[in-house]
A and B are shown apart, each in its own frame.
Chain A
Amino acid sequence: MTSRAQALLAGFGEQGAIDTTCHLGQWPYRLTAAATADDLRAYAARHGLRALWVSHLATLTGFDTRTGNEALRRACDADPLFRLFAVVDPGAPTWRRELAWAADAGFAGVRLAPGDHGTPPAALGPVLAEAAEHDLPVQILFRLDDPRVRHPRSSARDLEIHELADVVRGAPVNPLVLSGLNRLERVELGRHLGDAVPAHVLLDLWHVNGPAFVGDTWGEEPGRWVFGSGFPVQTPEATMLQLATAALDDATRARIAWGNAAAIVP
Protein backbone atom coordinates (compact mmCIF):
# COMPACT_ATOMS: atom_id res chain seq x y z
CA MET A 1 0.00 0.00 0.00
CA THR A 2 2.23 2.80 1.22
CA SER A 3 5.29 0.59 1.42
CA ARG A 4 6.92 2.48 -1.43
CA ALA A 5 6.49 5.80 0.33
CA GLN A 6 7.67 4.27 3.57
CA ALA A 7 10.77 2.96 1.81
CA LEU A 8 11.52 6.41 0.42
CA LEU A 9 11.16 7.90 3.86
CA ALA A 10 13.47 5.23 5.25
CA GLY A 11 15.93 6.19 2.51
CA PHE A 12 15.99 9.71 3.86
CA GLY A 13 17.20 8.20 7.13
CA GLU A 14 20.32 6.99 5.35
CA GLN A 15 21.31 10.56 4.48
CA GLY A 16 22.46 11.37 7.97
CA ALA A 17 20.70 14.69 7.75
CA ILE A 18 21.07 17.69 10.01
CA ASP A 19 17.79 19.20 11.12
CA THR A 20 18.46 22.91 11.45
CA THR A 21 15.04 23.85 12.82
CA CYS A 22 14.22 21.95 16.00
CA HIS A 23 12.78 23.14 19.27
CA LEU A 24 12.93 22.00 22.84
CA GLY A 25 9.91 22.58 25.06
CA GLN A 26 6.22 23.16 24.70
CA TRP A 27 4.51 24.87 21.76
CA PRO A 28 1.91 26.97 23.57
CA TYR A 29 -0.90 26.42 21.11
CA ARG A 30 -1.03 22.61 20.87
CA LEU A 31 -0.35 20.43 23.88
CA THR A 32 0.93 17.53 21.78
CA ALA A 33 3.49 19.76 20.04
CA ALA A 34 6.25 19.42 22.60
CA ALA A 35 9.66 17.80 22.87
CA THR A 36 11.98 16.94 25.71
CA ALA A 37 15.64 16.26 25.07
CA ASP A 38 14.83 12.54 25.03
CA ASP A 39 12.05 13.14 22.51
CA LEU A 40 14.54 14.95 20.30
CA ARG A 41 17.03 12.11 20.65
CA ALA A 42 14.35 9.57 19.74
CA TYR A 43 13.34 11.70 16.77
CA ALA A 44 16.92 11.88 15.58
CA ALA A 45 17.37 8.13 16.00
CA ARG A 46 14.14 7.39 14.14
CA HIS A 47 15.30 9.31 11.08
CA GLY A 48 19.06 8.85 11.18
CA LEU A 49 19.78 12.51 11.90
CA ARG A 50 23.38 13.34 12.72
CA ALA A 51 22.73 16.67 14.44
CA LEU A 52 19.91 18.95 15.51
CA TRP A 53 20.03 22.72 15.77
CA VAL A 54 17.84 23.49 18.72
CA SER A 55 16.58 26.34 20.89
CA HIS A 56 13.95 26.48 23.61
CA LEU A 57 10.38 27.46 22.82
CA ALA A 58 10.10 29.23 26.18
CA THR A 59 12.41 31.93 24.85
CA LEU A 60 9.67 33.06 22.48
CA THR A 61 6.92 33.65 25.01
CA GLY A 62 8.64 34.18 28.37
CA PHE A 63 9.50 37.44 30.09
CA ASP A 64 13.14 36.84 29.21
CA THR A 65 15.24 34.62 26.97
CA ARG A 66 17.78 33.57 29.58
CA THR A 67 15.39 31.18 31.31
CA GLY A 68 14.83 29.20 28.15
CA ASN A 69 18.43 29.43 27.01
CA GLU A 70 19.65 28.07 30.33
CA ALA A 71 17.04 25.31 30.32
CA LEU A 72 18.25 24.34 26.87
CA ARG A 73 21.81 24.22 28.08
CA ARG A 74 20.93 22.06 31.07
CA ALA A 75 18.94 19.62 28.94
CA CYS A 76 21.14 19.33 25.87
CA ASP A 77 24.64 20.66 26.38
CA ALA A 78 26.22 17.34 27.26
CA ASP A 79 24.97 15.52 24.17
CA PRO A 80 26.96 15.99 20.94
CA LEU A 81 23.79 15.41 18.93
CA PHE A 82 22.68 18.95 19.69
CA ARG A 83 23.88 22.27 18.33
CA LEU A 84 22.62 24.81 20.81
CA PHE A 85 21.21 28.09 19.55
CA ALA A 86 20.61 30.89 22.02
CA VAL A 87 17.57 33.02 21.34
CA VAL A 88 18.18 36.74 21.65
CA ASP A 89 15.40 39.33 21.87
CA PRO A 90 16.65 42.60 20.37
CA GLY A 91 13.90 44.43 22.20
CA ALA A 92 15.30 43.44 25.58
CA PRO A 93 17.73 46.00 27.05
CA THR A 94 19.97 43.08 28.01
CA TRP A 95 20.38 41.60 24.54
CA ARG A 96 24.08 42.45 24.25
CA ARG A 97 24.81 40.74 27.55
CA GLU A 98 22.72 37.75 26.47
CA LEU A 99 24.64 37.45 23.24
CA ALA A 100 27.99 37.74 24.97
CA TRP A 101 26.91 35.17 27.54
CA ALA A 102 25.84 32.79 24.75
CA ALA A 103 29.19 33.18 23.03
CA ASP A 104 31.09 32.56 26.25
CA ALA A 105 28.89 29.58 27.09
CA GLY A 106 29.72 27.90 23.82
CA PHE A 107 26.41 28.15 22.01
CA ALA A 108 26.73 27.24 18.35
CA GLY A 109 24.61 30.09 17.08
CA VAL A 110 21.95 32.68 17.69
CA ARG A 111 18.29 32.60 16.82
CA LEU A 112 16.10 35.66 16.35
CA ALA A 113 12.32 35.48 16.26
CA PRO A 114 11.13 38.90 15.14
CA GLY A 115 7.56 37.75 14.58
CA ASP A 116 7.21 36.35 18.08
CA HIS A 117 9.21 39.05 19.83
CA GLY A 118 7.67 41.92 17.91
CA THR A 119 11.08 43.09 16.77
CA PRO A 120 11.17 46.06 14.39
CA PRO A 121 13.29 45.10 11.39
CA ALA A 122 15.79 47.88 12.07
CA ALA A 123 16.55 46.36 15.46
CA LEU A 124 17.82 43.15 13.90
CA GLY A 125 20.84 44.70 12.23
CA PRO A 126 22.85 45.46 15.39
CA VAL A 127 22.36 41.89 16.60
CA LEU A 128 23.52 40.48 13.28
CA ALA A 129 26.60 42.67 13.44
CA GLU A 130 27.43 41.70 17.00
CA ALA A 131 26.85 38.01 16.34
CA ALA A 132 29.31 38.24 13.47
CA GLU A 133 31.82 39.80 15.87
CA HIS A 134 31.43 36.70 18.01
CA ASP A 135 31.65 34.41 14.94
CA LEU A 136 28.20 33.08 15.66
CA PRO A 137 25.87 32.18 12.78
CA VAL A 138 22.38 33.60 12.99
CA GLN A 139 19.09 31.93 12.22
CA ILE A 140 16.02 34.11 11.82
CA LEU A 141 12.83 32.27 12.68
CA PHE A 142 10.73 34.23 10.23
CA ARG A 143 7.76 32.21 11.41
CA LEU A 144 7.11 28.99 13.28
CA ASP A 145 3.66 28.31 11.85
CA ASP A 146 1.42 29.16 8.93
CA PRO A 147 -0.24 32.49 9.76
CA ARG A 148 -3.54 31.30 8.31
CA VAL A 149 -3.84 28.76 11.10
CA ARG A 150 -2.03 30.68 13.79
CA HIS A 151 -3.88 30.77 17.10
CA PRO A 152 -6.08 33.87 17.22
CA ARG A 153 -4.58 34.82 20.59
CA SER A 154 -1.00 34.54 19.34
CA SER A 155 0.66 37.95 19.12
CA ALA A 156 3.16 36.74 16.50
CA ARG A 157 3.18 38.86 13.36
CA ASP A 158 5.38 37.98 10.41
CA LEU A 159 7.70 40.59 8.98
CA GLU A 160 6.94 41.80 5.49
CA ILE A 161 9.29 40.28 2.94
CA HIS A 162 10.60 43.68 1.88
CA GLU A 163 11.48 44.34 5.52
CA LEU A 164 13.36 41.05 5.62
CA ALA A 165 15.12 42.05 2.42
CA ASP A 166 16.24 45.26 4.11
CA VAL A 167 17.67 43.19 6.96
CA VAL A 168 19.51 40.91 4.53
CA ARG A 169 20.82 43.89 2.59
CA GLY A 170 22.41 45.35 5.68
CA ALA A 171 23.68 42.08 7.16
CA PRO A 172 27.40 41.37 7.52
CA VAL A 173 29.02 38.51 5.64
CA ASN A 174 28.22 35.91 8.24
CA PRO A 175 26.03 32.81 7.89
CA LEU A 176 22.37 33.79 8.06
CA VAL A 177 19.69 31.09 7.84
CA LEU A 178 16.09 32.13 7.23
CA SER A 179 13.46 29.74 8.53
CA GLY A 180 9.85 29.46 7.45
CA LEU A 181 9.62 31.26 4.11
CA ASN A 182 7.52 29.66 1.40
CA ARG A 183 8.44 29.47 -2.26
CA LEU A 184 6.73 32.67 -3.31
CA GLU A 185 8.33 34.55 -0.45
CA ARG A 186 11.73 33.23 -1.50
CA VAL A 187 11.07 34.58 -4.98
CA GLU A 188 9.91 37.93 -3.59
CA LEU A 189 12.97 38.15 -1.37
CA GLY A 190 15.15 37.59 -4.38
CA ARG A 191 13.39 40.31 -6.36
CA HIS A 192 13.90 42.81 -3.57
CA LEU A 193 17.59 41.96 -3.71
CA GLY A 194 17.90 42.19 -7.47
CA ASP A 195 17.95 38.39 -7.73
CA ALA A 196 21.29 38.50 -5.99
CA VAL A 197 20.70 36.97 -2.57
CA PRO A 198 24.12 36.85 -0.90
CA ALA A 199 25.74 33.44 -0.72
CA HIS A 200 25.91 33.56 3.07
CA VAL A 201 22.09 33.63 3.25
CA LEU A 202 20.44 30.21 3.34
CA LEU A 203 16.84 29.08 3.78
CA ASP A 204 15.22 26.07 5.37
CA LEU A 205 12.58 23.89 3.80
CA TRP A 206 9.66 23.20 6.11
CA HIS A 207 7.36 25.77 4.55
CA VAL A 208 8.50 25.26 0.95
CA ASN A 209 5.83 22.66 0.30
CA GLY A 210 4.32 23.69 -2.99
CA PRO A 211 3.69 23.62 -5.87
CA ALA A 212 4.10 20.08 -7.15
CA PHE A 213 7.73 19.20 -7.81
CA VAL A 214 9.01 22.27 -5.99
CA GLY A 215 11.82 20.14 -4.60
CA ASP A 216 13.19 19.64 -8.09
CA THR A 217 14.04 23.34 -8.18
CA TRP A 218 16.25 23.19 -5.12
CA GLY A 219 19.07 21.90 -7.29
CA GLU A 220 19.19 25.27 -9.06
CA GLU A 221 20.75 26.72 -5.91
CA PRO A 222 22.37 23.77 -4.15
CA GLY A 223 24.16 25.99 -1.67
CA ARG A 224 21.03 27.89 -0.70
CA TRP A 225 19.00 25.31 1.21
CA VAL A 226 19.25 23.45 4.48
CA PHE A 227 16.96 20.78 5.80
CA GLY A 228 14.89 22.20 8.65
CA SER A 229 11.67 20.57 9.74
CA GLY A 230 10.19 22.71 12.50
CA PHE A 231 9.90 19.67 14.78
CA PRO A 232 7.95 19.38 17.08
CA VAL A 233 5.76 22.26 15.91
CA GLN A 234 5.51 20.87 12.38
CA THR A 235 5.33 17.34 10.98
CA PRO A 236 8.92 16.62 9.91
CA GLU A 237 8.17 13.61 7.70
CA ALA A 238 6.44 15.95 5.23
CA THR A 239 9.67 17.80 4.50
CA MET A 240 11.78 14.65 4.71
CA LEU A 241 9.77 12.91 2.02
CA GLN A 242 9.97 15.98 -0.20
CA LEU A 243 13.74 16.00 0.04
CA ALA A 244 13.97 12.23 -0.39
CA THR A 245 11.96 12.24 -3.63
CA ALA A 246 13.09 15.49 -5.24
CA ALA A 247 14.86 15.11 -8.57
CA LEU A 248 18.30 16.01 -7.28
CA ASP A 249 21.64 14.39 -7.87
CA ASP A 250 23.15 12.63 -4.87
CA ALA A 251 25.68 15.36 -4.17
CA THR A 252 23.06 18.10 -4.14
CA ARG A 253 20.71 16.09 -1.95
CA ALA A 254 23.55 15.51 0.50
CA ARG A 255 24.44 19.20 0.55
CA ILE A 256 20.88 20.15 1.37
CA ALA A 257 20.35 17.32 3.83
CA TRP A 258 23.47 18.03 5.85
CA GLY A 259 26.44 19.49 3.96
CA ASN A 260 25.38 23.12 3.89
CA ALA A 261 24.44 23.04 7.55
CA ALA A 262 27.66 21.30 8.54
CA ALA A 263 29.62 24.01 6.77
CA ILE A 264 27.99 26.57 9.05
CA VAL A 265 28.05 24.61 12.30
CA PRO A 266 30.40 21.59 12.17
Chain B
Amino acid sequence: MTVIDAHTHLDAGRFDPRVFELGDRLGVELFLCTDIGAFVAHPAIDEVREMNRTLARELRRYPDRLRGYCYVNPRYGAATMDDLRRSVEDDGMIGIKLWIATLADDPLCDPILEYAAENRLLVLAHAWRKTVARFPYESTADHIARAAARHPDVRFLMAHLGGQPESAVDTVQPHPNVAVDTSGTIIGAGEVALAVDRLGAERVAFGSDLHHVDLTETVGKVLGARLDPEAERLVFGGNAERWLGEVAR
Protein backbone atom coordinates (compact mmCIF):
# COMPACT_ATOMS: atom_id res chain seq x y z
CA MET B 1 0.00 0.00 0.00
CA THR B 2 1.16 3.49 -0.81
CA VAL B 3 1.16 6.10 1.94
CA ILE B 4 -0.52 9.15 0.44
CA ASP B 5 -0.74 12.75 1.56
CA ALA B 6 -4.09 13.83 0.14
CA HIS B 7 -3.77 17.58 0.74
CA THR B 8 -0.75 19.62 -0.27
CA HIS B 9 -0.04 22.84 -2.14
CA LEU B 10 2.79 24.14 -4.23
CA ASP B 11 4.99 26.66 -2.50
CA ALA B 12 5.85 29.67 -4.67
CA GLY B 13 5.22 27.64 -7.79
CA ARG B 14 7.18 24.57 -6.85
CA PHE B 15 6.99 21.44 -4.79
CA ASP B 16 10.02 21.50 -2.53
CA PRO B 17 12.00 18.36 -3.39
CA ARG B 18 13.23 18.18 0.19
CA VAL B 19 9.70 17.09 1.07
CA PHE B 20 10.24 13.93 -0.97
CA GLU B 21 13.33 13.15 1.11
CA LEU B 22 11.41 13.77 4.30
CA GLY B 23 8.56 11.69 2.92
CA ASP B 24 11.03 8.86 2.37
CA ARG B 25 12.10 9.09 6.00
CA LEU B 26 8.50 9.02 7.18
CA GLY B 27 7.20 6.56 4.60
CA VAL B 28 5.01 9.04 2.70
CA GLU B 29 5.31 8.28 -0.99
CA LEU B 30 2.67 10.16 -2.95
CA PHE B 31 1.41 13.74 -2.57
CA LEU B 32 -1.87 15.06 -3.97
CA CYS B 33 -1.29 18.68 -4.73
CA THR B 34 -2.92 21.91 -5.86
CA ASP B 35 -1.62 25.36 -6.63
CA ILE B 36 -3.54 28.26 -5.13
CA GLY B 37 -0.65 30.62 -5.66
CA ALA B 38 0.11 32.90 -2.78
CA PHE B 39 -3.25 32.03 -1.23
CA VAL B 40 -5.16 34.03 -3.81
CA ALA B 41 -8.70 33.78 -2.50
CA HIS B 42 -10.56 35.28 -5.44
CA PRO B 43 -8.27 34.82 -8.43
CA ALA B 44 -8.97 36.03 -11.94
CA ILE B 45 -9.34 33.31 -14.53
CA ASP B 46 -5.94 34.13 -16.03
CA GLU B 47 -4.38 33.67 -12.62
CA VAL B 48 -6.15 30.34 -12.15
CA ARG B 49 -5.00 29.12 -15.56
CA GLU B 50 -1.43 30.07 -14.75
CA MET B 51 -1.59 28.30 -11.38
CA ASN B 52 -2.85 25.14 -13.04
CA ARG B 53 -0.19 25.35 -15.74
CA THR B 54 2.42 25.72 -13.04
CA LEU B 55 1.04 22.69 -11.26
CA ALA B 56 1.03 20.69 -14.51
CA ARG B 57 4.72 21.45 -14.93
CA GLU B 58 5.44 20.13 -11.45
CA LEU B 59 3.35 17.03 -12.13
CA ARG B 60 5.44 16.31 -15.21
CA ARG B 61 8.59 16.94 -13.22
CA TYR B 62 7.73 14.48 -10.46
CA PRO B 63 5.40 11.91 -12.05
CA ASP B 64 6.09 9.28 -9.42
CA ARG B 65 5.47 11.52 -6.44
CA LEU B 66 2.75 14.03 -7.35
CA ARG B 67 -0.88 14.00 -8.49
CA GLY B 68 -2.81 17.19 -9.14
CA TYR B 69 -6.04 18.86 -8.11
CA CYS B 70 -7.20 21.52 -10.58
CA TYR B 71 -7.90 24.80 -8.78
CA VAL B 72 -11.17 26.40 -9.90
CA ASN B 73 -12.85 29.74 -9.43
CA PRO B 74 -16.50 28.91 -10.13
CA ARG B 75 -17.36 32.53 -10.87
CA TYR B 76 -15.79 32.31 -14.32
CA GLY B 77 -18.33 29.83 -15.72
CA ALA B 78 -17.44 28.47 -19.15
CA ALA B 79 -13.85 29.65 -18.95
CA THR B 80 -13.42 27.74 -15.69
CA MET B 81 -14.89 24.62 -17.28
CA ASP B 82 -12.50 24.90 -20.23
CA ASP B 83 -9.54 25.16 -17.89
CA LEU B 84 -10.82 22.25 -15.81
CA ARG B 85 -11.25 19.99 -18.83
CA ARG B 86 -7.80 20.86 -20.11
CA SER B 87 -6.25 20.21 -16.70
CA VAL B 88 -7.93 16.82 -16.36
CA GLU B 89 -7.96 15.57 -19.92
CA ASP B 90 -4.61 16.94 -21.12
CA ASP B 91 -2.60 17.26 -17.92
CA GLY B 92 -3.96 14.22 -16.10
CA MET B 93 -5.19 15.92 -12.94
CA ILE B 94 -7.15 13.66 -10.67
CA GLY B 95 -9.31 16.09 -8.79
CA ILE B 96 -10.61 19.56 -8.16
CA LYS B 97 -9.75 22.04 -5.45
CA LEU B 98 -12.57 24.20 -4.10
CA TRP B 99 -11.25 26.86 -1.80
CA ILE B 100 -12.92 30.15 -0.87
CA ALA B 101 -13.74 31.78 -4.20
CA THR B 102 -17.35 30.71 -3.59
CA LEU B 103 -19.16 28.60 -1.06
CA ALA B 104 -19.08 24.91 -1.92
CA ASP B 105 -22.84 24.72 -2.39
CA ASP B 106 -23.09 27.77 -4.61
CA PRO B 107 -25.01 26.82 -7.77
CA LEU B 108 -22.03 28.15 -9.69
CA CYS B 109 -20.25 24.98 -8.59
CA ASP B 110 -22.84 22.67 -10.12
CA PRO B 111 -21.30 22.28 -13.61
CA ILE B 112 -17.92 21.67 -11.98
CA LEU B 113 -19.35 19.04 -9.68
CA GLU B 114 -21.27 17.39 -12.54
CA TYR B 115 -18.00 17.08 -14.43
CA ALA B 116 -16.39 15.66 -11.29
CA ALA B 117 -19.10 13.01 -11.06
CA GLU B 118 -18.73 12.05 -14.71
CA ASN B 119 -15.00 11.55 -14.27
CA ARG B 120 -15.00 10.25 -10.68
CA LEU B 121 -12.69 13.09 -9.70
CA LEU B 122 -11.80 13.69 -6.08
CA VAL B 123 -13.09 17.09 -4.90
CA LEU B 124 -10.89 18.54 -2.19
CA ALA B 125 -13.14 21.12 -0.55
CA HIS B 126 -11.95 23.56 2.06
CA ALA B 127 -14.23 23.81 5.09
CA TRP B 128 -13.76 25.40 8.46
CA ARG B 129 -16.21 26.60 11.05
CA LYS B 130 -14.03 29.27 12.61
CA THR B 131 -14.62 31.03 15.88
CA VAL B 132 -12.49 33.95 14.71
CA ALA B 133 -10.88 35.08 11.46
CA ARG B 134 -13.30 33.47 9.07
CA PHE B 135 -12.80 34.33 5.40
CA PRO B 136 -15.56 35.59 3.12
CA TYR B 137 -17.11 32.64 1.25
CA GLU B 138 -15.38 30.20 3.58
CA SER B 139 -17.43 27.01 3.54
CA THR B 140 -18.33 25.05 6.62
CA ALA B 141 -19.44 21.45 6.82
CA ASP B 142 -22.99 22.65 6.26
CA HIS B 143 -22.10 23.86 2.78
CA ILE B 144 -20.26 20.64 2.00
CA ALA B 145 -23.22 18.59 3.19
CA ARG B 146 -25.63 20.52 0.97
CA ALA B 147 -23.35 20.17 -2.05
CA ALA B 148 -22.93 16.47 -1.32
CA ALA B 149 -26.68 15.96 -1.09
CA ARG B 150 -27.15 17.68 -4.44
CA HIS B 151 -24.31 15.71 -6.04
CA PRO B 152 -24.38 12.24 -4.50
CA ASP B 153 -22.04 10.82 -7.14
CA VAL B 154 -19.26 13.25 -6.34
CA ARG B 155 -16.56 12.14 -3.95
CA PHE B 156 -15.84 15.05 -1.62
CA LEU B 157 -12.80 15.25 0.60
CA MET B 158 -13.63 17.85 3.25
CA ALA B 159 -10.40 19.47 4.39
CA HIS B 160 -9.09 20.01 7.91
CA LEU B 161 -11.65 17.69 9.54
CA GLY B 162 -13.98 20.60 8.84
CA GLY B 163 -11.97 22.77 11.23
CA GLN B 164 -14.15 22.00 14.23
CA PRO B 165 -14.35 18.22 14.10
CA GLU B 166 -17.27 17.35 16.35
CA SER B 167 -19.79 19.54 14.58
CA ALA B 168 -18.30 19.06 11.11
CA VAL B 169 -18.08 15.29 11.26
CA ASP B 170 -21.62 15.03 12.57
CA THR B 171 -22.87 17.31 9.80
CA VAL B 172 -21.41 15.27 6.94
CA GLN B 173 -21.94 11.87 8.54
CA PRO B 174 -25.23 11.16 6.69
CA HIS B 175 -23.52 11.75 3.33
CA PRO B 176 -21.43 8.71 2.40
CA ASN B 177 -19.84 10.59 -0.50
CA VAL B 178 -18.03 12.89 1.93
CA ALA B 179 -14.73 11.91 3.51
CA VAL B 180 -12.52 14.16 5.61
CA ASP B 181 -8.82 14.87 5.63
CA THR B 182 -6.67 15.39 8.70
CA SER B 183 -4.68 18.36 7.42
CA GLY B 184 -3.74 21.59 9.08
CA THR B 185 -1.97 23.08 12.03
CA ILE B 186 -4.64 22.22 14.56
CA ILE B 187 -3.62 19.28 16.71
CA GLY B 188 -6.47 19.20 19.22
CA ALA B 189 -6.41 15.99 21.20
CA GLY B 190 -8.63 13.21 19.99
CA GLU B 191 -9.77 14.85 16.76
CA VAL B 192 -8.53 12.23 14.30
CA ALA B 193 -9.79 9.40 16.48
CA LEU B 194 -13.17 11.09 16.75
CA ALA B 195 -13.49 11.35 12.98
CA VAL B 196 -12.58 7.69 12.54
CA ASP B 197 -14.99 6.67 15.26
CA ARG B 198 -17.95 8.58 13.86
CA LEU B 199 -17.37 8.25 10.10
CA GLY B 200 -15.47 4.99 9.91
CA ALA B 201 -11.85 4.73 8.86
CA GLU B 202 -12.85 4.38 5.22
CA ARG B 203 -13.95 8.04 5.25
CA VAL B 204 -10.83 9.61 6.74
CA ALA B 205 -7.64 10.38 4.81
CA PHE B 206 -4.27 11.66 5.85
CA GLY B 207 -3.47 15.17 4.62
CA SER B 208 -0.84 17.67 5.65
CA ASP B 209 -1.62 21.04 4.01
CA LEU B 210 2.02 21.42 3.02
CA HIS B 211 3.99 23.65 2.64
CA HIS B 212 2.73 26.07 5.26
CA VAL B 213 2.32 23.19 7.69
CA ASP B 214 5.04 20.79 8.77
CA LEU B 215 4.61 17.30 7.32
CA THR B 216 5.98 15.67 10.45
CA GLU B 217 3.44 17.43 12.68
CA THR B 218 0.59 16.09 10.62
CA VAL B 219 1.94 12.55 10.51
CA GLY B 220 2.45 12.69 14.28
CA LYS B 221 -1.10 13.89 14.76
CA VAL B 222 -2.45 10.78 13.07
CA LEU B 223 -0.04 8.46 14.88
CA GLY B 224 -1.22 10.08 18.10
CA ALA B 225 -4.75 8.86 17.38
CA ARG B 226 -3.46 5.34 18.09
CA LEU B 227 -5.71 3.77 15.50
CA ASP B 228 -5.89 0.03 15.02
CA PRO B 229 -3.68 -1.22 12.17
CA GLU B 230 -6.47 -1.56 9.61
CA ALA B 231 -7.82 1.91 10.33
CA GLU B 232 -4.32 3.34 10.14
CA ARG B 233 -3.76 1.61 6.80
CA LEU B 234 -6.92 3.14 5.38
CA VAL B 235 -6.25 6.63 6.71
CA PHE B 236 -2.62 6.76 5.65
CA GLY B 237 -3.30 5.85 2.05
CA GLY B 238 -5.65 2.90 1.57
CA ASN B 239 -8.61 5.16 1.01
CA ALA B 240 -6.85 7.63 -1.26
CA GLU B 241 -5.38 4.79 -3.29
CA ARG B 242 -8.88 3.36 -3.79
CA TRP B 243 -10.28 6.76 -4.80
CA LEU B 244 -7.46 7.39 -7.24
CA GLY B 245 -8.13 3.98 -8.77
CA GLU B 246 -11.68 5.07 -9.56
CA VAL B 247 -10.73 8.25 -11.43
CA ALA B 248 -11.74 7.92 -15.08
CA ARG B 249 -8.81 7.81 -17.49
Does A148 belong to the interface (CB within 8 Å)?
yes
Asked if B220 and A242 sit within 8 Å, CB to CB, the answer is yes
Which of B1, B189, B219 sits near A33, CB closer than 8 Å? B189
0 or 1 for each of B193-218: is its CB under 8 Å from A? (1 = yes) = 01000000000000000111111111
Complex interface: stretch among A4-12, A88-96, A106-114, A129-137: A4-12
Bound-state CA distance A244–B224 (Å) is: 14
The one of B19, B190, B223 that contacts A30, using a Cβ cutoff of 8 Å? B190
B223/A152 in contact, CB under 8 A: no
Closest to A212 in B: B211
Q: Is the CB of B219 within 8 A of A210?
A: no
Give complex CA distance A7, B25 in Å.
10
Bound together, the chains give a CA A150 to CA B219 distance in angstroms of: 23
CB pair B189–A4 under 8 Å, yes or no, is no
Which candidate, A162-170, A188-196, A230-238, A252-260, is the interface stretch facing chain B?
A230-238
B191 touches A (CB below 8 Å) = yes
Do B26 and A8 have beta carbons less than 8 Å apart?
Answer: yes
Query: What's the nearest-Cβ distance from chain A to residue B137, in Å?
Result: 17
Shortest Cβ distance from B225 into A: residue: A235
A215 lies within 8 A of chain B by Cβ = yes
With both beta carbons as reference points, the residue of chain A lying nearest to B19 in the complex is identified as A212
B18, B130, B220: the one contacting A235 at CB < 8 Å is B220
Known A8-B25, A212-B11; contact A242-B214, beta-carbon cutoff 8 A: yes
Q: Are A241 and B133 in contact (CB under 8 A)?
A: no
Residues of chain B lying within 8 A (CB to CB) of residue A209: 185, 187, 213-214, 217
**Once the chains bind, are B212 and A211 in contact (CB under 8 Å)?**
yes
B1-49 contacts to A (CB < 8 Å): 1, 3, 11, 16, 18-19, 22, 25-27
Interface size class of B (residues with CB under 8 A): 35 or more
In this complex, what residue of A is CB-closest to B235?
A2
- Count the A residues whose beta carbon is within 8 Å of the partner chain — how many? 46
Known A-B contacts A2-B219, A238-B221; the reply to A211 vs B214 at CB < 8 A is: yes
Residues 1-42 (chain A) with a chain B CB within 8 angstroms: 1-6, 8-9, 27, 30, 32-33
Q: Is B186 an interface residue (CB 8 A)?
A: yes
Is residue B156 within 8 Å, beta carbon to beta carbon, of the partner chain?
Answer: no
Q: Which residues of A contact B233 (CB under 8 A)?
A: 1
Majority SS at the chain A contact face: loop
Task: Say whether A145 faces chain B, with CB atoms less than 8 Å apart.
Answer: yes
Q: Give the nearest-CB partner of B22 in chain A.
A: A245
Residues of A within 8 A of B177 (CB): none
Q: Is the CB of A150 within 8 A of B132?
A: yes
- Mark interface residues in A220-250 (1 if CB within 8 Å of B CB, else 0): 0000000000111111111111101110000
Q: Which residue of A lies closest to B190 (CB)?
A: A32
Chain B positions 166 through 177: 1 when the CB is less than 8 Å from some CB of chain A, otherwise 0: 100000000000
Instruction: Decide yes or no whether B232 CB sits under 8 A from chain A.
Output: yes
- Choose among B190, B217, B225 the residue with the greatest number of A CB atoms under 10 Å from its CB: B217
Q: Are A245's CB and B26's CB within 8 A? A: yes
B131, A150: Cβ atoms closer than 8 Å = yes
- The distance from the CB of B164 to the nearest CB of chain A, in whole angstroms, is 5
Q: Which residues of B contact A27 (CB under 8 A)?
A: 189
Instruction: Say whether A149 contacts B186, CB under 8 Å.
Output: yes
Question: Within 8 Å CB of A145, what residues of B?
Answer: 188
Select which of B166, B214, B220 is within 8 A of A210 by beta carbon: B214
Nearest-neighbour CB distance to chain B for A181, whole angstroms, equals: 13
**Does the CB pair A213–B163 fall under 8 Å?**
no
Question: Once the chains are docked, how many angstroms separate the CA of A145 from the CA of B190?
Answer: 13
Closest to A145 in B: B188
User: Closest residue to B8 on the A side, CB-wise?
Assistant: A212
Contact in complex: A237, B185 (CB < 8 Å): no
Contact partner of A32 among B22, B25, B27, B189, CB < 8 A?
B189
- Is there a chain B Cβ closer than 8 Å to A123's Cβ? no
In the complex, A2→B236 CA distance in Å?
A: 8
B216 touches A245 (CB 8 A): yes
In the bound complex, residues from chain B placing their C-beta under 8 Å from that of A152 are 131
Could you tell me the distance between the alpha carbons of A235 and B184 in the complex, rounded to whole angstroms?
Answer: 13
Q: Could you show 5 A-B contacts with beta carbons less than 8 Å apart? A: A30-B190, A146-B186, A148-B128, A209-B185, A235-B191
Q: Please name the 8 residue pairs, one residue from A and one from B, whose CB atoms are nearest each other, closest first.
A: A241-B220, A237-B224, A238-B220, A4-B27, A209-B217, A235-B224, A210-B213, A237-B220
Q: Give B residues with C-beta under 8 Å from A.
A: 1, 3, 11, 16, 18-19, 22, 25-27, 128, 130-133, 163-164, 166, 185-192, 194, 210-221, 223-225, 232-233, 236-237
